[in-house]
Structure formats: structure tokens, C-alpha cells
Structure 1
Amino acid sequence: MDKLLRSISYIFHPLIMPLLGVIFYFSKSPRYIPLDIIQAKVISLFILTIILPILLYFLLKTIGIVNTINLKSTKERIYPLILNGIVILIVLQRILTPSQAIELYFFFIGILISNMACLILAILKFKASIHMIAISGVFMFFIALSIHFSININGTLALMSIIMGAIATSRLHLKAHTSIELIIGVFIGILPQLILVNYWL
């Protein structure tokens, strides 16, 4: 059980969540989008939101700013969150524009807001759960898409709810967070997406 709960934190790592939201959007969108454009955006986002942050993490570890991938202290979180914010800004400027996919544009605006909120809390020495921020933000985006496209994704939402519970259990089991840190993480993930729905739904 310990290995299972530990593996959940890695399998559903926050880094993969934005790309998961993008892939889900392209798989459900009724709009015609050429396959080569979809592939180009997915590959670009994979490089910018997964590969680049991993490389930046190793750079920060090499120069002694972070010690582990878990970013156990609030101090360790500050520079990775700043760099992640810059990466998201690049995505918004170069990859996802409002004219091409307004839903994805505001999805990443929400991610940026959640990232900045987490950064502010880290500066204030409060460690909100980035895992819960990421999964709950994607969960809210899925709900909004189901309403926007009038599609039934109850099975997907049920699975996402189970995954959220599994991640929360994993983080508590590993003593990475307290219950309040998980709850605050959920709110930081959901609220920006919920508020921004008004601009595209």
C-alpha cells in the first residue's frame, strides 16, 4: 500500500495536468482543427510544460536552490514557481492565443493565476498542495467543457474525483501536506477556472 500511495504522487504529477487538459480539449472539441496543428501544439506544450520544467529543476538543484523534487520547504518553492509562471506566459504568448482556442487560453490564464497564488502563499510561508491545485483546476476545466460542448462526461468526472481522492490520500500518507494545505490547494485550483468560465462559456 505504501508503494501504491507513493507512486500515485508521481503518476499524477502536477506537471502533466496542463497537457492532460489540452489533450482532453482536442479530443472533445466539436470544432474542426487540422491534425497537424493539434500535433504541433501538443508537442510544443509537452516541451514547454514538462521537459523544460524538468531541466530547470535539475539546474536549480545543481546550483543548490532546491534539494529534492518534492520541494519540501516553502523557500524551495519560490524559484520553481516563478520560473513556471514565466513558462506559462510563454505558452500564452506563443502557443495558445484567444483567436485559436479561447477555452485553452483561459484555461492557462487560470493556471497562471493559481501558480501566482501558490507563489504568494509560499512567500508567506504557507505550503499549499500543488498536486491538488493542478488536479482540481483540470477537474473544473473538464466540467466547464462538458457544459460548453453539451457532452456527457460523467464517467470521466467520476474517475477524476477518484483520482483527486487518491492524490489527497497519497499526500497525507507521505506526510507531505496537512489537510488544510490540501483544502487550500483545491480552492486555489478551482476558483480561477470557475471565475474565468465567465469569459468563454
Structure 2
Amino acid sequence: MPLLGVVFYFSKSPRYIPIEIIQAKVVSLFILTVILPILLYYLLKTIGVVKTINLETTKERIYPLILNGIVLLIVLQRILTPTQAIELYFFFVGILISNMACLLLAIIKFKASIHMIAVSGALMFFIALSIHFSININGTLALMCIIMGGVATSRLHLKAHTYKELIMGVFIGAFPQLILVNYWL
């Protein structure tokens, strides 16, 4: 979802940004937010910290969330500075806050839906971008709502989460993005 948010931002932003910079940012974010987490998962699985990709227990979620927080800090320090694209910077700050909230809940033995955190955070960012740039993206917003419903339905169908965990995931994903809009909108 972070990569989707970045690609969406660059496709809808009316600002002129050289294509080389866009490509460099997208490639580096792909490496840090897709490739590196996959490699870290296999490392954690090899050393026995996690059993499956599903991270079924709250105990299994702690180390992946800590490592994800570190990756997000690297992204904020090295790739997305507030001087280049303030919207993306605060999008990732919101993702970091959501990640830390999910980590805190995992520590106190509550398993919020990380899938719902990601989808609701991206949806809130898209809504804020449509307001900020005064663009009509109703189709995209409708599609994101359908995706959000599909994700929630699948998590319930697989019995991976309860209604409370899904609602908490939506809140944890959307609320930081909503609060941080005040800093860039």
C-alpha cells in the first residue's frame, strides 16, 4: 500500500517532478517496502521468530513490526524528505504512527488487522490528495472502498480476525492520516 500511495501521488500530482527523480524514488521505495520486508520475513522464519506469513499470534507480530518501523524511518530519513514532497513525507509519517500503534497493541496482546490498517490509510491519503489538488478521483475512491470491503470480508471468511480487530485496523490506519492532513493540506 505505501508503494501504491506513492505511485498514485506521482500520477495525480500537478507539480512538475523530473521523471528521473520519480523513477529513483519508486525503485528505491520498491526495494525498501517490498523486497526488504520479504527478505526480513525469510530471515525471521529461518531463525524461528515467525512460523507462517500470517503472523497468527501477537507475539509473532512484534519483531516484524519493529523491523518495519526501522524501514519506515530509513524511508523518511533518506528517500522522502519534507522539502521534496511534503504530502508523501506525511503519508509515511502516518504509516509509521500506524505501525507503532499496531506494535503497541501487539505488545498488549491485541491483534489489529494490518491489512485493514494499510487499506484504510491509503484510502484516507487518496481522499486528502483529492481535496488538496482539487481533483475528481471518485472512481478511485469507490474502487478503494470496494477493495476495503473485500479485504474485510476475506479476513472474516478466513477467520483471521474478528469484527473488533477489523474496526480497530480501520481506525489505526485512517486516524493518523486524518490528523497529519493538518500539516500539509
The CA RMSD over aligned residues, in Å, is 0.2
1:107 aligns with 2:91: yes
TM-score normalised to the size of structure 1?
0.92
1:160 aligns with 2:144: yes
How many pairs are equivalent?
185
Q: Which has the higher contact order (CA 8 A, sep 6+)?
A: 1
TM-score normalised to the size of structure 2?
1.00
Deviations 1:28-78 (A, max 9, x none): 000000000000000000000000000000000000000000000000000
SS in 2 for 1:71: coil
Percent identity of paired positions between Structure 1 and Structure 2: 86
1:47 aligns with 2:23: no
In structure 2, stretches of 5+ residues that fail to align are none
In structure 1, stretches of 5+ residues that fail to align are 1-16
Deviations 1:129-166 (A, max 9, x none): 00000000000000000000000000000000000000
Q: Report the Cα distance in structure 2 between the residues aligned to 1:138 and 1:169, rounded to whole angstroms.
A: 18
Distance apart, 1:84 and its partner CA: 0.1
Deviations 1:95-116 (A, max 9, x none): 0000000000000000000000
1:135 aligns with 2:119: yes
Q: Report the Cα distance in structure 2 between the residues aligned to 1:73 and 1:177, rounded to whole angstroms.
A: 11
Distance apart, 1:122 and its partner CA: 0.1
Runs of 4+ in 1 over 3 A off after TM superposition: none
